[in-house]
Chains A and B, each alone.
Chain A
Amino acid sequence: MHSPVMKAVAELDPARGLRSPGTPHDAALEAILHTRRRVPLHTRAARPALVSAGLAVAAGVAIVVASPWSTPTAFATWTRVPSQVTSALPAGLAGECAPVTRWVDDDAPGLPIVEVPVRPVLTEVRGDYTYVVQAGEDAWSECLATVGAAPGAWDVVENAARLPEPLDEDLPAADDVLTYQLGTTSWTSGAAGAGALTSAFGRAGSDVTAIEVILEDGATAQASVDGGWWAVWAPGAEALTGEARLTLRDGSRRDVTLEVRTTH
């Protein structure tokens, strides 16, 4: 960090004077050590499971834990281009992707559970995997499903988050996209061991007709775009670089960086 500007910025660090050394006798550490190491996996079927879901339920929020060191061992049939894109949920999958997200509301008396309904806004198929994005007033969920071992059964993993304001309050410009989610999910698939996937989705402006995302290996994958939403996922813990190229209605192209929106 030899740049004078970077050195000057370093001196502005608001946490520079913060002291908070950890000791082996900290009560917070003791509390963690008294919890179970392996949380029950949150899954509708026996196999794929969102590793972080147990913690998310406990905290009342959803967490997708970055796991850049996992090795993808699943998703062999995944394709760079989705074979189907629709806003509807496949009939066989109805009821598998939860139509309601549940949240702990610390301010509510009694049982502080708030339910936020969500509905499918985009479904895409890549190989054996169906990926569904659902949205509600101020919450979203993502649902990845593959055919289970038993006839007619699905293995489903889900992730959800609640936002501080309604989803429709902030929409992208016609030639831009808004990113709600860009993160890594670790999961297991039977005896195949742990794998990881990176998913991203959000809203697409009315002039955006296609989105191509740059993958970690330098190749590209085509995101699904439908009804003002876009979505993509790829095997691997750091599969998506965050760089994308939009194709607009007039045929022009525009490079963007996908960044999850934040409130200030």
Chain B
Amino acid sequence: MYAQENKGEAGLDQGDAADRLTRLWVANHEDVTRFVARRLDSALVDDAVSETFLVAWRRLEDVPDDARPWLFGVARNVVATRTRSEGRWRALGVRMARQPVEVSPSADDVAIDRLELEDAWLRLTAGEREVIALVAWDGLTTEQAARVLGLRPSTFSVRLTRARRHLVEVLDAMAHRQPVPSRKV
């Protein structure tokens, strides 16, 4: 992460601005691309990423030192807008079933079945998937994730706790279901 110095508009000439955006691009392009790819049709990812950095370019003075949550917040709005406008939303994790994933036994030696986890994931609400994904997939701290959603950290923590609890409850319910039916994936 590059340390950034916030300057007023008058103090950031075109050369400085170009240099700063270039550093933002190099430092964050891959993370922003992954963030968008998790949430949007693959055909739209590149455009959405460019649009995100275009917003950053036009609002460089607003980009904080910790730029990644800010960029994710912008990207989230770009994705939401394209979703509402074009109807190409891909719910978080809808493509998981096609991913080759190895899930190791957890620390308490209780193996979590991959297919059951996928199934449970898709039973969560979009909001629950969002808060979990920001931490588990996007690698944000609670405070950073709260910034992405425009929430207080305490509010985000409550939502994350609820979402995790719901996920565990769904997994528990599956574990107790007898007999286990064949599951569409």
Q: Across the two chains, which residue of chain A brings its CB closest to B22?
A: A24
The CA of A32 and the CA of B14, in the complex, are separated in Å by: 12
| Chain A, range 1-60, C-beta contacts under 8 Å to B | 1-16, 18-24, 26, 28-29, 31-33, 35, 37-39, 51-52, 54-56, 59-60
Partner of B81, one of A7, A22, A63: A63
Partner of A61, one of B85, B91, B148: B85
Interface residue total, chain B, C-beta cutoff 8 A = 83
Chain A contacts to B: CB under 8 angstroms? 1-16, 18-24, 26, 28-29, 31-33, 35, 37-39, 51-52, 54-56, 59-70, 103, 161-165, 183-184, 186, 198, 216, 237-238, 240-243, 257, 259-260, 262-264
Given A22-B25, A22-B26, the answer on whether A262 and B126 have CB atoms closer than 8 Å is yes
Which residues of the other chain, A, contact B121 by a CB distance below 8 angstroms?
Answer: 9, 12
Chain B contacts to A: CB under 8 angstroms? 9, 14, 17-18, 21-22, 25-30, 33-35, 37-38, 46, 49-51, 53-55, 57-60, 62, 64, 70, 73-74, 76-78, 80-87, 89, 91, 93-96, 99, 101-104, 106-108, 110, 112, 114, 117-118, 121, 125-127, 132, 135-137, 147-152, 155, 159, 164, 167-168, 171
Q: Are B84 and A161 in contact (CB under 8 A)?
A: yes
Q: Are B137 and A13 in contact (CB under 8 A)?
A: yes
The CA of A15 and the CA of B94, in the complex, are separated in Å by: 12
Interface of B is mostly: helix
The CA of A14 and the CA of B101, in the complex, are separated in Å by: 9
Q: Are A14 and B77 in contact (CB under 8 A)?
A: no
Q: Are A241 and B152 in contact (CB under 8 A)?
A: yes
Partner of B17, one of A20, A37, A165: A37
Q: Are B103 and A161 in contact (CB under 8 A)?
A: no
